[in-house]
Copies of this chain bind each other. A is one copy, B any other.
């Protein structure tokens, strides 16, 4: 247990929730086959279209972001299909793992962690693999805080192939500039607990008509994540299986807040927190990990010899502040400070003070 009652989260999902969203979570439960739920659910889907900047259909399932990623794989592909994954972090690798779990052999290209995907490399890969049916990209990856230029990458796909483009925007949607239709993205995946300022538990997919033609012929097996079933329920403003109704109520409140600030206002807010964090890091002689950084998260390199994992555990225990450790080979070597959702400048200040104190102690020792 922490010594303090404080609970400050600088983590890239779950993120802290606005009080209006917390309040919605604790409203008496609605039954999911009622007009009142239907109205709320329809608002969520409509507002999600606006957040995605798309005119395409939006589907919702009760699951984590990984469930959304799996749904794209099983609804777009058939056994033997060719797929291309361009991985720029742990979540890009996850696309490849899901494809392999379903018996496919994706072509995987990747960049060193922290470096953005390059359009030329996609063009080359598509020329070598002209039968590629689906290209899997990530907008941002919270394992490193990298940003990929989806507009540029999507243009490279369209210039070289008919492949459908799937983008993982789990950590970026409503927090970092993303224009689904304008940029020519076919499927965009996201989840409730990051830029969408809700608790974890809901997964969303926006799906273009071009992608829907693949959906109609895709033969990988599926049931819970079968998009056609969700699509059929939309007419009745329902989901096929009992949805996480409390989470839907909370998502409606969070989307109202997002629309009040406006999408561009949200993007600007994230960018300001990123600037603020990077100014602090530079002042403290700490390098930013990502060569091509996103606004949603700053990965900060720790000085040699600092045990980041122990330091973050102490900060959580003593100050009640959650800051994310590095993942896999970066464990203990970077700290990841998130900027999406309801994270505030005051939250960041508290985190900075806690980090500075421990870093000074290490340097004095």
Residues in A lying within 8 Å of B, measured CB to CB? 1-2, 7, 9, 11, 13-17, 22-23, 25-32, 34-36, 39, 62-67, 70, 97-98, 101-103, 191, 193, 199-201, 220-226, 240-247, 316-317, 322
Question: A34 to chain B: which residues have CB within 8 Å?
Answer: 316, 322
Chain B minimum-CB-distance residue to A22: B26
**Contact of B201 with A67 in the complex, beta carbons under 8 Å:** no
Q: List 21 A-B contacts (CB under 8 A).
A: A1-B35, A7-B30, A14-B30, A14-B32, A17-B29, A22-B26, A23-B26, A25-B25, A32-B200, A62-B67, A63-B63, A64-B243, A64-B244, A66-B223, A101-B223, A103-B221, A199-B245, A199-B247, A200-B243, A200-B244, A221-B221
Question: A224 to chain B: which residues have CB within 8 Å?
Answer: 63-64, 66-67, 70, 225
Q: A101-B222, A201-B246 are in contact. List 19 more A-B contacts (CB 8 A).
A: A9-B31, A17-B28, A22-B26, A22-B27, A22-B28, A23-B26, A31-B322, A62-B63, A62-B201, A63-B224, A64-B243, A66-B224, A67-B224, A97-B223, A191-B242, A193-B242, A199-B246, A200-B242, A220-B221
Bound complex: CA A67 to CA B239 (Å): 13
**Contact of A62 with B200 in the complex, beta carbons under 8 Å:** yes
Which of B22, B102, B240 is A223 in contact with, Cβ under 8 Å?
Answer: B102
Bound complex: CA A36 to CA B242 (Å): 29
**Contact of A31 with B11 in the complex, beta carbons under 8 Å:** yes
**Contact of A28 with B7 in the complex, beta carbons under 8 Å:** yes
Majority-rule SS of A interface residues = loop
Question: A2 to chain B: which residues have CB within 8 Å?
Answer: 36
**Contact of A226 with B63 in the complex, beta carbons under 8 Å:** no
The quantity of this chain's copies bound in the complex is 2
Bound complex: CA A289 to CA B307 (Å): 65
CB distance from A46 to the nearest CB of B (A): 18
Question: A29 to chain B: which residues have CB within 8 Å?
Answer: 9, 14-17, 199
CB distance from A103 to the nearest CB of B (A): 6
Question: A1 to chain B: which residues have CB within 8 Å?
Answer: 35-36, 39
Question: A23 to chain B: which residues have CB within 8 Å?
Answer: 26
Question: A13 to chain B: which residues have CB within 8 Å?
Answer: 242
CB distance from A280 to the nearest CB of B (A): 21
CB distance from A332 to the nearest CB of B (A): 14
Question: A101 to chain B: which residues have CB within 8 Å?
Answer: 221-223, 226
Bound complex: CA A23 to CA B22 (Å): 10
Question: A16 to chain B: which residues have CB within 8 Å?
Answer: 28-29
Bound complex: CA A246 to CA B27 (Å): 13
CB distance from A253 to the nearest CB of B (A): 11
Bound complex: CA A199 to CA B246 (Å): 7
Chain B minimum-CB-distance residue to A323: B31
